[in-house]
Every structure is written in structure tokens, then in C-alpha cells.
């Protein structure tokens, strides 16, 4: 059956070169195997060939029977840079993504990188990426240097995304309090999931999905803890007037309209997400080629569910 891998990451070589030559807030070194290492607070990524060599990557997909990947940049994102540099890096990444989409026709579908620390520039870049480069949407990070995605400065971005009927994929980044997560890789293992959960809850309680219903939100890593905690959010809606200020219905009803990728390779957890949001709101994800990602585990954990493997992603991406 066809497979669309919605959650995976690619660093264009031009972006890595730009980080090295600077100016940049990100430190890049080379490991003993010749792979770039990108350092940022609480975490670092080792850019193995699958991260940066698109021909190598295509052969991996062929070997595993994956038809298409929805490629995104990953942490730390361009928003850690000075505003002008963030905008320049985002445009550079998106131009490189567009070239991959054109030359590897049908194999890779990009979601735009945005300079999220400059909301006005993010609006311009989303417009360019969707209207000129023909991307289906963008990747947002779960917070922007500590600022929540629900803050008023991002409303013009959501207004445009709603007009475009865009996909917005929410990927975690280092949360506030990252200094408590620097040992045992706790930032990506725990902090990432909690930050996604927090971002989704803030978006819903702030009324973003209520105001902009055409946006198709996708949450990484099976939504963090959203399928598990949604009932508690509903109790907050019942108990606290602040939780009803911007929405007329319980938060779980909005969250069930979100999409959840399967970058949690426990079949019981995937079943929980299916029970929560419905099988038509789950998309396949591998987190390839991160150390913690796995295409084989993605495939094994999904089983024979054709909708999750491809149909749901194809629908929201308008393939």
C-alpha cells in the first residue's frame, strides 16, 4: 500500500553552509564521522547523510517502500537568529525545498520554514511559499523563543493560513525551563512532548481554531499528551470561566479536529489517539533521520491501516 511519511526532517546543504559561515546564533561543529553537529540549548542534532543528502535519502525511501515524505526543517529553526537573519535563512531553506520538490517530483512535499520571531515577515514568507512555491503550508514551532503561538502578533499569520486552507504542522522546540532537562536527553524525551501539549491547549483556549476553522493543524509526536489529557481540559472548560472566554464548546471538540502523527511507535498509544480523534485524523510519521526516529518502527506500529499510511495525509495535502 502507498506510504506518506508526514513527520521527518531535512537540512538543505545551503542552510548548513549559511550556519557555518554566519553570522548565526547556532554553533556547528563536525563529528568524528564527518557529520555536522548543530548545537542549541538543551539539545543538538547530528546531521547524518539522510539529513542533508537528498539522493541518499531517496534511496532509503525506495528501500523501505515509502512513496512520499513531507519534509520540514527541524530544531532549532530560524527563529533563534536575529530577525533579518531569520528571514534570510527561512527564504533560503524554502527555495532549497522548492528545488527538491521540483527535481524529485512526487517524492518530497515541503512545509515552509518561517522566521517566527518576526511575525510580519512570517506572513510574507508563508504567502510566498504557498502562492509562488506551491507548498501546502508551514511548520510552526511550539514556542518562539519563549513566546506562545497563541499570542496576538500571530493572528495575521493564522488569518492568511485560513485563507489559504493551509496545513500548519506544530513541531516542538526547547521549552521554558530547559535548564532542568539538560541531562538524560530529557528535553527531547519529555520537554518536547509537554511543549506540544501546551501549545495545542493554548491555541484552543485562545480560540484560534474557532476563529480560523479552515486551518488543518497537525501535532507532532502523537500530540504529546493531548489524547491522554483532553478530558482534563474539558473539565477546566466546565469549571473555570477563563477557559470559556474564547470558545463556545469544550476544547476536546476542537482537538479532535486536529491531526496527529504517529511518531510514538507504541501501537497502544496510537490506538489511544485513534480512539480520541478517529482513524481519519492520524497520519504516518517516522522522525527520520533523527537518532530517535525509525521508518521500520513507523511501518510496524501502524500495521495494516491504509488510511494512516497515506489516505489521510493525501486528503489534507490535496494530493
Q: Which of 27-31, 121-125, 240-244, 265-269 is predicted with the least confidence, judged by mean pLDDT? A: 27-31
In this prediction, residues 209-231 reach a mean pLDDT of 98
In this prediction, residues 209-227 reach a mean pLDDT of 98
Q: Is the dihedral of CA 95, 36, 19, 167 positive or negative?
A: positive
pLDDT digits (tens, 9 = 90+) for 92-118: 999 999 999 999 999 999 999 999 999
User: What pLDDT is attached to residue 42?
Assistant: 61
Nearest-angstrom CA–CA distance, 69 and 58: 9
Q: How confident is the model at residue 185 (pLDDT cuts 50, 70, 90)?
A: confident
Nearest-angstrom CA–CA distance, 140 and 107: 22
Nearest-angstrom CA–CA distance, 288 and 69: 10
User: What pLDDT is attached to residue 126?
Assistant: 98
Name the 3-class secondary structure at 283: strand
Q: At residue 150, does pLDDT exceed 80?
A: yes
Nearest-angstrom CA–CA distance, 318 and 13: 29
Contact call for residues 205 and 247 (beta carbons, < 8 A) = yes
Nearest-angstrom CA–CA distance, 203 and 148: 9
281 DSSP 8-state letter:
G
pLDDT digits (tens, 9 = 90+) for 273-303: 999 999 999 999 999 999 999 999 999 999 9
User: Mean pLDDT in the chain?
Assistant: 96
Q: What are the structural domains of the chain?
A: 4-11+50-317 (3.20.20.140)
* Partners of residue 203 on adjacent β-strands: none
Q: Which of 1-5, 152-156, 180-184 is predicted with the least confidence, judged by mean pLDDT? A: 180-184
Whose grid coordinates read 512532548? 193
Nearby residues of 257 by Cβ (< 8 Å), 6 or more positions away: 209, 217, 277, 281
Whose grid coordinates read 557529520? 35
User: What are the residue ranges of helices labelled H in 225-318?
Assistant: 226-239, 251-255, 267-277, 295-302, 306, 312-317
User: What pLDDT is attached to residue 182?
Assistant: 84
Q: How many CB atoms lie within 10 A of CB 229?
A: 16
Q: How confident is the model at residue 44 (pLDDT cuts 50, 70, 90)?
A: confident
Amino acid at each position: 500500500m502507498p506510504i506518506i511519511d508526514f513527520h521527518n526532517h531535512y537540512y538543505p546543504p545551503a542552510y548548513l553552509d549559511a550556519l557555518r559561515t554566519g553570522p548565526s546564533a547556532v554553533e556547528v561543529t563536525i563529528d568524528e564521522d564527518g557529520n555536522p553537529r548543530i548545537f542549541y540549548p538543551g539539545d543538538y542534532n547530528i546531521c547524518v547523510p539522510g539529513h542533508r543528502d537528498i539522493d541518499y535519502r531517496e534511496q532509503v525511501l525506495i528501500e523501505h517502500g515509502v512513496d512520499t515524505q513531507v519534509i520540514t526543517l527541524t530544531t532549532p529553526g530560524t527563529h533563534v537568529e536575529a530577525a533579518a537573519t531569520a528571514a534570510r535563512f527561512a527564504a533560503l531553506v524554502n527555495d532549497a525545498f522548492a528545488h527538491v520538490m521540483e527535481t524529485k517530483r512526487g517524492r518530497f512535499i515541503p512545509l515552509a520554514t518561517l522566521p517566527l520571531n518576526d511575525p510580519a515577515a512570517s506572513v510574507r514568507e508563508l504567502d510566498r511559499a504557498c502562492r509562488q512555491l506551491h507548498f501546502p503550508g508551514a511548520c510552526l514551532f511550539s514556542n518562539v523563543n519563549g513566546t506562545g503561538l497563541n499570542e496576538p502578533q500571530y493572528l495575521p499569520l493564522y488569518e492568511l493560513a485560513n485563507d489559504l486552507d493551509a496545513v500548519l504542522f506544530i513541531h516542538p522546540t526547547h521549552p521554558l525551563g530547559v535548564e532542568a532537562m539538560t541531562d538524560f536527553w530529557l528535553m527531547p524525551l519529555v520537554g518536547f512532548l509537554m511543549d506540544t501539549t501546551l501549545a495545542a491547549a493554548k491555541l484552543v483556549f485562545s480560540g484560534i481554531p474557532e476563529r480560523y476553522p479552515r486551518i488543518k493543524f497537525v501535532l507532532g509526536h502523537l500530540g504529546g499528551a493531548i489524547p491522554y489529557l483532553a478530558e482534563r481540559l474539558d473539565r477546566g472548560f466546565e469549571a473555570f470561566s477563563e477557559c470559556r472566554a474564547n470558545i463556545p464548546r469544550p476544547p476536546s471538540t476542537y482537538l479532535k479536529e486536529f491531526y496527529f502523527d504517529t511518531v510514538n511507535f507504541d501501537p497502544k498509544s496510537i490506538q489511544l489517539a485513534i480512539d480520541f480523534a478517529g482513524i481519519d485524523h492520524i497520519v504516518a510519521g517516522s522522525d527520520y533521520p533523527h537518532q530517535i526516529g525509525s521508518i521500520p518502527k513507523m511501518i510496524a506500529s501502524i500495521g495494516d491501516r491504509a488510511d494512516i499510511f497515506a489516505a489521510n495525509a493525501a486528503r489534507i495535502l490535496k494530493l
